[in-house]
C-alpha cells in the first residue's frame, strides 16, 4: 500500500515510475462489515516528459574583461520532479552557439567574471535541468561579445 494514497485521487511520482498501481476500494458499512474491490492491473507508470521551460535564457552584462556576466532570465522549469540545475559557461569563436566550447575551470553558477583569455571571443552559458528519471534538457543563451 501507498501510505499517502487514502483519498479519491493519487498523483504518481518519480518513485512510481515502472511500477504497476492498483486501485482497491474498501467500503465499511454501518454494521462494520467491509467490502473491497480491486481494479484490473493497468500499464506501469511511465516517465514524465523531460523538464521544459518556455523562457529563453539570456546573458546580461558587458563583455569586458573584469566585468560580471549573469543569467538574465529567470527560468521556470516545468516538471513533476525535483530538478538538479547546472550551469556551464562557454567561450565561442563566433556569435553562433555551434562555435562554443566549455571554459575550463569556469564557474558552475549563474554568473561569470570575464577573463583576459576571453578577449576576442563571444561568451554564453548553457543551463541544464535534470530530473529523477535521468532525463535532461539543456538551453543555451545567445552568445554576447566580442569580449574587449
Predicted confidence (pLDDT) per residue in 56-91, tens digit: 899 999 999 999 999 876 778 999 889 999 889 999
Predicted confidence (pLDDT) per residue in 8-64, tens digit: 788 887 788 888 888 888 888 889 899 988 888 878 888 889 999 988 899 999 999
pTM of the model: 0.73
Predicted confidence (pLDDT) per residue in 97-119, tens digit: 899 999 987 767 788 999 999 99
Give percent of the chain with pLDDT exceeding 70: 98
Q: What is the 3-state secondary structure (H, E, C) of the chain?
A: CCCCCCCCCCCCCHHHECCCCCCEEEEECCCCCEEEEECCCCCCECCCCCCECCCCCCEECCCCCCCEEEECCCCCCECCCCCEEEEEEEEECCCCHHHEEECCCCCCCCEEECCHHHECCEEEEEEEEECCCCCEEEEECCCECCEC
Amino acid at each position: 500500500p501507498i501510505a499517502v494514497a487514502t483519498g479519491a485521487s493519487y498523483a504518481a511520482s518519480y518513485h512510481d515510475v515502472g511500477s504497476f498501481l492498483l486501485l482497491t476500494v474498501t467500503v465499511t458499512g454501518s454494521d462494520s462489515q467491509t467490502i473491497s474491490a480491486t481494479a484490473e492491473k493497468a500499464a506501469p507508470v511511465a516517465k514524465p516528459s523531460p523538464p521544459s521551460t518556455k523562457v529563453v535564457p539570456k546573458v546580461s552584462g558587458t563583455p569586458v574583461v573584469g566585468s560580471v556576466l549573469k543569467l538574465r532570465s529567470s527560468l521556470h522549469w516545468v516538471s513533476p520532479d525535483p530538478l538538479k540545475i547546472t550551469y556551464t559557461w562557454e567561450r565561442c569563436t563566433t556569435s553562433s552557439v555551434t562555435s562554443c566550447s566549455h571554459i575550463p575551470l569556469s564557474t558552475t553558477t549563474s554568473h561569470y567574471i570575464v577573463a583576459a583569455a576571453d578577449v576576442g571571443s563571444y561568451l554564453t552559458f548553457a543551463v541544464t535541468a535534470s530530473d529523477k528519471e535521468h532525463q535532461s534538457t539543456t538551453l543555451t543563451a545567445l552568445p554576447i561579445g566580442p569580449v574587449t
